[in-house]
Every structure is written in structure tokens, then in C-alpha cells.
Structure 1
Amino acid sequence: MRGALFALIVCQVGLHACLQGARLAVPLSVLRMGHDAWSVGVVMMMFAIIPALFAISAGRLADRRGYHFPVRIAAALSLSGTVIGALMPSFAGLCTAAALCGGGAGFGMIAIQRTASRFARNDADRLRVFSWIALAPALAALLGPLLAGTLIDHFGFRIAFVGLAMLPVISLLVTCAVPHEVPVAIDASVRKKYSVRELLRMPGFARLLFINWLVSASWDVHGFALPVLGVERGLSASTLGAVLAAYAVASMAVRLVIPFIAEHLPRRHLLPGALALTCLVFALYPLLESAWAMAGCAAVLGIALGAIQPAILTTLHNVTPRQHHGEALALRSMSVHLSMMGMPLIFGLIGASVGAAALFWVMAVSLGIGSLEARRLAAAHD
């Protein structure tokens, strides 16, 4: 089980590091070609478009075929994206590369998370497993841009895309360490019973999707509004980088700690408590002037949000039928990617009209509502 779980982590690191590296290389390449900021926005949107449109199909495929076939498709998408980025350095080619790399990471994430849940024997085990799995995107966010940036500086964009192409190849190679799952034939009447519409009607599932969307929006608000707030406070770029680093380090640290204390965590209160803590941090952020205080808030936010993702995934697997976990994960992925496509524009409009502080406070109120919803969800499935 440990070897298979390690293989799942490596697989997701490969696919997501390819995505994160492409998220650096593609817009830089677009700017080098002389395109404007609007073109960068278009190409960045392309990273989310395939996961948003085809997540449900990917989830159903994972439910039918298990882990290996969907992950091979995911790796093929990512590999194709990097090859197109290397061979077709035009705006259309880079848009295609972005869409394929985004699709590969999104499809792979659904299959990986679904398979990881099969290694868990109980709730504590599931929380432990998903904490390990949640480390993969954080590691990928460090590895991918570092690899892409280094290769771009020393060898150019073409070699950078070739280097990124090696990452999905690694993901393919480690699939052999994951045991094959016997395909389960799902009766047509059962599939009809648990269509997407029926899943959304299940007790707690729509509420959980709302909470998941809030968490995704809070990540986006923090990444968007913190630099704006920092500039208003007169903080330098390096200081803002240190504040964001405090968040990243704390988020990774809590995901490393949870697997060792999962048995002792109050799982019924973990999600509501983390959301309430996040609400408090967002309410305090605009009141702070000191960089040290903001770094402290960022670290607390990293702890809260770092604990939320494993808790959400654990709860999702508890409130949905086992044979439709892939489809449920796909709905979660689709909501996140749709948010990624539209929310930055909304944040920009709000921030431009009323300031960054208002964004933090609006998000704080929303997270407070989310904490109450999480308490109701926990009470309903106690």
C-alpha cells in the first residue's frame, strides 16, 4: 500500500509540475512574441477549459476503468501539450498546449484521488491518505516553475517544453507500481439513479460543493488581493514574496503532520473549525500594517487551508456512493476550474471599485457562512 501511495503521489507531482511549468513558460512565450496582457489572460484561461468541460466524462471513465487507463490518457494529454509547445510556438499552438496540459493534470487528479480513497479502511485512514496526496500539488508548484524557469534562462523556450515533457513520462512509468483494479460493471438503472443531477440532490453533496467552491475562491482572493493590499501598505516585492512563502510552507507542513495525528483529530469539527479560522484570518488581514503580522496571518491561513482539502475529500467520499466517487470528484474539479475561469475577472472589478480590503471582508463573511454549512453537514452525517 505504501509503495502504491508513493506512486500515486509521484504521478500527480509529474502531471501537476508539468502544468505549473507550462503556466510559467506559456505566458512568457506569449509576451516574448509581442502579445498584450489580454492575450496572456486568454492563454491562461485555456489551462482550465478542458477540465471544466470534460471533467464529468473523466470521472465516469475512472469509475468504469479504474486508475491506469485514465492516467495514461492524462499523461498523453500533458505530453502532447508540451510537444506542441516546443514545435508550434505560435499563439494558437500555445493555447492548444495550455489546454492539453491543463486537461492532463485535471484528468489525472480525478483518477489519482479516486484510487487513493481505495487504500483507506476508515475515516482516519482516508484523511491520512488524502493529506499525503495533497502534498503533490504543493511540491509540483515548486518543481514545475523552477524547472521551466531554469531551462528558459539557460536554453530557451523550446528546450524548456522538452524538459517539461519528461514529467508526464515519469508519471507513466510509475503507474506499474499501482495495483490494477478489477473493472466493475455498473447496472444501467444504478447509473441512471446516480446521474449528475441525482448526485447534486444527495443530502450534503451540493452543500459540500459550495464549501469547496468557497475554499477555491479564498485561494484566488488571497493570491489576487494580497499583492494589491501589500502595495497599498508600501511593502516591497521581496516582502510580499516572503508573506506568500509563509503561507506555502505552513500549508505543506500541516499536510505532513496530519497523517501522523489523523487518529486523534476531531474529524467532525475539522472542516467547520478550519473554515472558521480562515474566516478570522480574512477579516484581520486588512487591519494589519506590519509585514510580520501579515506573514503570521498567511501562516495561519496556510495551516487552515492545508487541512481543509483532505477534510473535503474525506467528506466527499463519505456522502457519495463508492461506485460513483470518480463522478463526484469530477463535479468538484469542474466547479473549481469554472471558478478559475471567471472569478479573477470578478475580483478585478470589485478590487478596482472598492479596494482590496473589501475583497478580504466579503470573503470573510462568505467563509463564515461556509463554516455554518460545514457544521450542518457534519451534524447530518454524524
Structure 2
Amino acid sequence: MKKTLTVMTLLAASASQAAGLAIDTQSGRATGMGSTGVASMKDASSIYYNAAGILGVNKLDVQLGASLILVDLGFTPDATGVKQTQNPFSPPPNAYFVYKINEQLAAGVGVFTPFGANSKWPGDFVGRQIARESRVATYDINPTLAYAPLKWLRLGVGFQAVYGTVDVRRQVVAPSPPFPAGISGEVALSGNTWGLGYNAGVQADVVPGQLTLGVHYRSRVLMFLEGDSDFSGFPDAAAASFQDQPIRLDVELPASLGLGVSVTPMEKLTLAADANWVRWSSIQQLLFEFQTTPTFNQPSIKQWEDRWNFRVGGEYKVTDALAVRAGFVYDPTPSPEETLAPDLPDADRLKISVGAGYAFSAFRVDAGYQLVLLQEKRSAFTPLPGTYGGTAHVIGLTLGYSP
């Protein structure tokens, strides 16, 4: 008996505030400055933004933070014209520790979530056979070392140990024939694994105190997830044909390259601009491989395309203790119209950010807010054409200690 199960879901990117699956708000200060940091970050969060920047700490810098992501994503199918929405919530955390050994050498470690998403469509969602509920997270443990061969030149390198998890739930309709029409159930898919990668960066003070240039690269990370499938809700006549079994999913997290410039035109003002390239073309399809019943296997074609995103930001020191910030981001989706589906909903993003920081004694608190405008994105995906769009609110909060 031929049995076909379309499993088109890996993770839903709706709750990621950056295009694709990226989460680029990894510190409260950077969040307020439009997520810039390749040339402008010179604290412990540089472990994420540019490894070379950790040499900017005084002696010791410790940061703990999180980015609260609240999304209002809507989809209007062409067939009905009735908009359906989801409102997921995600709190990806981050933590950094850096110790400056001497003026030329610094070391540290960061833990953060560079990719992640959380999606839950309503129970009557028109595309529930494609996607209903899904969660993904990658946790990056990033030991980092930076060295300054010259006073104006900083080099950094890091090692990435990445732990990834995925949990997916969707409706499954039993094929007819051989089963009577209308028989359905659910499948829950879960898996996890470790992957390895590296990152490297450079910062150069072209005009000391006024102009800094930066470059930062993160390698791809291959993830070979293994886990289980759990079928439920089928009547007895069909349950025997949908047996729980091991699954496998191979994913390549994309490499990225960041180019940045930081300018200090006056003592209290810092301006920054970044251009970031992401190799999203590493995601051409998503395929859960069922180890017992390979006839269930069917790839979800994505054919994502490489993209550049652009960010600008600024910080003004009102006093020695208080700083205010603002920024803007243009972040285009890597998904072409033909493959844009509710399992990975996406749209071009415009992000407007504001923030502030306050230092007292050896402690400081940095907060940033981003209003994310998901531009209306047309989907020509044959099974379910329509339009995606919405908004998101991102709040980045970081507590820091630097004696």
C-alpha cells in the first residue's frame, strides 16, 4: 500500500525579528542602535557582533540579557480573502564574559541564540496540513580570543559549538484511497543535535578616536538532527499505518559576512553603519527523513537566495552615565514568492529602533526597542497562494558589570 505524508515543516520564522531565521538583537545597546556592531561594539557583546571588539573592554566585562520578541503575523489566502493571524512570543537569552589579560590580549565566552523561531497558527488555520505549530532554537557557545598586533589594529577569532532543537506539530490527512475520505490525525516531530563552526573579525582604527572599520565572518554550521515522530488522533482503522519512528533532518545554518564603519564626529556622538551578507542559499529544501517508512518523505522546496541587509545607528552621551540611541534597518526576505509557505512565513522588514543606557558605579543597564514592520509579501506558493504581513515588537535588555 502506497502511503504519502507531506511533511513540509521545519520551523516557522514568524517569531524571528530578522529575515529568514536570524535573531540579530544580541545586546540592549546594539538593539537601540539598529543592531549595528561590526565596528561600533567594543564590549563583551562583541563576541557576537565582531570578535575583535572584545579588546575594547577595560579589564573585565560581564553581560546578561534577553530579547523579548512579540509578533503579530497575518496571512490572507487568495481563496477566501479572510485574514488569519498568530501572535507568538519568544525570549531568546544571551550572556557574555570577557577578561582583558593585557593591552594586547583578551579572552571571553558568549552564549546566545543566533537562529530561532516560534510559531502557532490557530486550530482552524487554512494551511494546517502544511504548518500548525513549530519551535526552533540554536544555542551558540562561542569561546573567543582577540589580539592587537598594533595599537590601532585588533584581530579576533572564535569557536562555535551550536546546539539545535526543533519541535513541529501539524495535521496529517490519510490518503484516500485506501482510507475513507476525511480521516486525519496529527504528527509531532522533534529532534536535536550539535554542530561546529568558527568566526573571525578585524577592527581597525583608521583615524584613532574618530573612524573605525570592521569586518566579521561567521562560518556555516552543519546540523544533522535526529529525533522521533509521534502520530496521534487517527482512528483504529488507520493508526497501524502511521507508526511512531525515528526521523532525521539535515540543515546547514548559513555563513554570514558583516562590514561596518563607526564614526565619532564629536566627543559625545557615535554613528555606525553595517552591511551584512547572509548565505541563505544554503537552505534549498527541508526534508524530514522517516527511518522506518521512507514513503513518508517529501521535501519542502525553499530555494532561498543570498541577501544583504543594511543597518544604521547612533549613540549620544547625554552625560557620563546616560546615553540615548536610535537606528534603522532594512532586512529583505530570502524567500522567493514561489516557495513562500506558512511553514516558513517571511517578509521584507523595516525596523525602527530607539534605546538608552545608564551606568551607575560598576553596573550598567541597556535597553533597546525595535518596531518591526513586516511589509506585505505576496506568495505564489501553488497549494496556498496569498499575502503575508504584520508587525513585531522587540525589547532588548542587558545588565552589565565592568569594574
TM-score (norm 2): 0.23
More strand, by proportion = 2
Give the TM-score taking structure 1 as reference length: 0.24
Task: Determine which structure has greater relative contact order: mean sequence separation of CA pairs < 8 Å that are 6+ residues apart, divided by chain length.
Answer: 1
Larger radius of gyration: 2
Which is richer in helix?
Answer: 1
